[in-house]
Amino acid sequence: MDHKQRITAILHELLSNPKTKVIPEYFSSRYIAHTSNKTYNGLKIVSQWIQNLNSFLSDLKIVNLEFIHETDDTVVWKRTLKGKIKSSALQNQNVGKSIKWEEMIVSKFNGSKIEEEWISSEFLGALLPKTKKKSSLRSQQK
Give yes or no for a contact between 99 and 122, defined as CB atoms under 8 angstroms apart.
no
Least confident of 16-20, 94-98, 132-136: 132-136
Residue 39 has a pLDDT of 97
- Residue ranges with strand state E in 10-71: 27-34, 39-41, 57-70
Residue 103 has a pLDDT of 96
Q: Provide the b/e sequence for 5-19 (b: ≥16 CB within 10 Å).
A: ebbbebbebbbeebe
Residue 129 has a pLDDT of 66
For residue 140, the number of C-alpha atoms closer than 13 Å in the C-beta half-sphere is 6
CA distance 53 to 47: 10
Q: Which one-letter amino acid corresponds to residue 47?
A: S
Read off the pTM: 0.84
Q: What are the structural domains, with CATH classification, of the chain?
A: 3-141 (3.10.450.50)
